[in-house]
Structure 1
Amino acid sequence: MVKSTLQFDNMNSVVAQKTDFLVIENLTKAYPTPDGGEFVVLDGIDLTLKEDEFVALLGHSGCGKSTLLKMVAGLEQPTSGLITLEGKAVRKPGADRMMVFQHYGLLPWLTVRENIRLAVDEVLDGLSHKEKTQIVTEHLAMVNLTAAANKYPDEISGGMKQRVGIARALALRPKMLLMDEPFGALDALTRGKLQKQVLNIWENHRQTVMMVTHDVDEALYMSDRIVMMTNGPHAKIGEILEVPFAHPRDRQQIRNSPEYYELRNHALNFLDHYFSTDD
């Protein structure tokens, strides 16, 4: 793994001062093959995330980004290696880590409010009815869905459905938010608006985030660091790119800076020059 040597005068040092939160050590993931061998997806992954850090996983399809995210979530187990969250080994899913998927996963027979409330009832069962109602109401407002609270999923747009998924995840008060290409199924205009909204929420309600993306501009706009993966099989972390722009961020402002295009070109050159784009 290579850490980018790009340096900028306005580098934000806040993240570096925080303590280790999530630690991934020498992680390997392999699947058995019909001939008795194994197909190694990820090989020797070492990565540490700080508390409240926003990290993007960037790479071509098939490089194991989503597999790594699922192992952090506890949905899959590593073949070898260790993942720890605040010093405790990750062995299974838990309410301290919530995932937002590309496809929304809403129950069509429940309203927007009811989809969020169902998750709150399941995880935060120790709270009173009034407290649960308040949490749901607050998170509907957080993603600007108060007016759509009593609509059903087939009555709202794709962008609104994704906001329901994000509100549902955040309402459970996780320590870590895991997002697997959360904007990938949206049109360009909706995607840009939702990126801004999610970033605004994170800037005002900090928590550790790991997000899978194929989009260099998305990674630069939203994250503190970009973890760039080599192609699979035997995918590794090829380079980690530090993103120097302070929060809160203004998309137009950072795009007008020379640092933005230097970082963007560096990431694109990494993906294009060193590794095949074949899936």
Structure 2
Amino acid sequence: MTKSSSFPTKGNSATLNGTKFLEIDNVVKSYPSADGGELVILDGINLTIGEDEYISVIGHSGCGKSTLLKIVAGLEKPTSGMVRLEGKEIRKPGSERMMVFQQYSLLPWLTVQENVRLAVDEVFKKASPVEKKQIVSEHLAMVNLTQAANKYPDELSGGMKQRVGIARALAIRPKMLLMDEPFGALDALTRRKLQKQVLDIWESHRQAVMMITHDVDEAIYMSDRIVMMTNGPHAKIGEILEVPFPHPRDRQAIRESKEYYELRNHALNFLDQNFSQDE
């Protein structure tokens, strides 16, 4: 844990109307080590996320951020503890949790609309062709890709490819969006534009979001709370910061506020302290 400070922090629980949405309950994740023992990556993670809350998880490489996200996605199983969504234990991937990766993961032989349609066909098996087409069109419009619907991935920029991935994730109407460094492969200008676009979509279509990032400014701009991880192995939640800025957000106004610099410095100090402890 970091040293206490005067900056406002928030506990690890979030409820809406008295109902817990996602519960991460004492999750431990370990792997066999070369000496025959166990290497503990995550060591007792407890976190509750509300059904329309935007959470960012931040920490140094090797602290288990992506592993935690994969456990919530059902792509990995915890060694002990459990994750529950609306009271039901998560044991495998499901359409109520959709993941957006840093790499675009598009099928190169399918057009933009066909890549999105593939997910829609899988989840909405009983929908008519007209209904499926409407869902695809609606979500391509949401990410400003209507004009690129018939293009193939190799005809798109990196930002456009990531927008296809986001449209595909949103098109199946998941209860929770999981994003693993979704803007990490983009140049700075494209990254800023896509951050705003994703935040605009979330502000108009609220759902639970859990995002992994290394970028403190990104976490502050987009999140309701920032979950800061201690270093791995044996990584824990070191601190959780509440972001005080209301939605919808104005990046420029946020950066001109005193609270922004206090929050940013607090997060950077936490990361610096953990970095020095790892040396």
Give the count of matched residue pairs: 274
* 1:174-189 correspondence runs (5 A): 174-189=174-189
Note the 1:106-125 alignment, pairs <5 A.
106-125=106-125
Give the distance between the partners of 2:273 and 2:74, measured in 1 at CA: 34
Instruction: Render the CA deviation track for 1:247-271: whole Å, top value 9, x for unaligned.
Output: 0001001110000000000000010
Matched residue SS, 1:191: helix
Provide, for residues 82-110 of structure 1, a one-character-per-residue CA deviation record: whole Å limited to 9, x for no partner. Answer: 10000000000000000000000000000
Counterpart of 2:244 in structure 1 is: 244
C-alpha displacement at 1:7, in angstroms?
Answer: 3.8
- Structure 1 counterpart of 2:194: 194
Instruction: Give the match for residue 7 of structure 2.
Output: 6
Partner of 2:261: 261
Whole-Å Cα distance in 2 between the matches of residues 169 and 93 of structure 1?
A: 13
| 2:47 is equivalent to residue 72 of structure 1 | no
On the 8 A contact 1:96/1:175 being kept in 2, the answer is: yes
TM-score for both structures, normalised by structure 2: 0.94
Local SS of the residue matching 1:160: helix
Q: d(CA) in 1 for partners of 2:154 and 2:163?
A: 14
How far has the Cα of 1:57 moved from its partner?
A: 0.2
Report the aligned-residue RMSD. Answer: 1.8
In structure 2, how many angstroms separate the alpha carbons of the residues matched to 1:5 and 1:175? 35
- State the distance in 1 between where 2:190 and 2:277 align: 27
Asked if 2 retains the 8 angstrom alpha-carbon contact of 1:100 and 1:178, the reply is yes
CA distance in 2, matches of 1:70, 1:208: 16
In the alignment, the residues of structure 2 paired with residue 126 and residue 143 of structure 1 have an alpha-carbon distance, to the nearest angstrom, of 25
Corresponding letter in the other structure for 1:151: K
Q: Deviations over 1:208-228 (max 9, x none)?
A: 000000000000000000000
* Superposition TM-score, scaled by structure 1 size: 0.94
Task: Report the Cα distance in structure 2 between the residues aligned to 1:130 and 1:215, rounded to whole angstroms.
Answer: 41
Letter in structure 2 aligned against 1:118: L
Contact 2:15/2:49 (8 A) holds in 1: no
Match of 1:222 in 2: 222
* Distance (whole Å) between structure 2 residues aligned to residue 121 and residue 274 of structure 1: 45
Q: In the alignment, what sits opposite 2:234? A: 234
Tell me the SS of whatever aligns to 1:109: coil
State the one-letter code of the partner of 2:171.
A
Q: How many angstroms does 1:33 deviate by?
A: 1.6
1:275 CA displacement: 3.4
Identity of aligned residues (%): 76
Counterparts of 1:1-279 in structure 2, within 5 Å, are 6-7=7-8, 17-18=16-17, 19-276=19-276
Give the secondary structure class of the aligned counterpart of 1:48.
strand
Match of 2:21, SS state, is strand
Distance of 1:113 and 1:5 partners within structure 2: 50
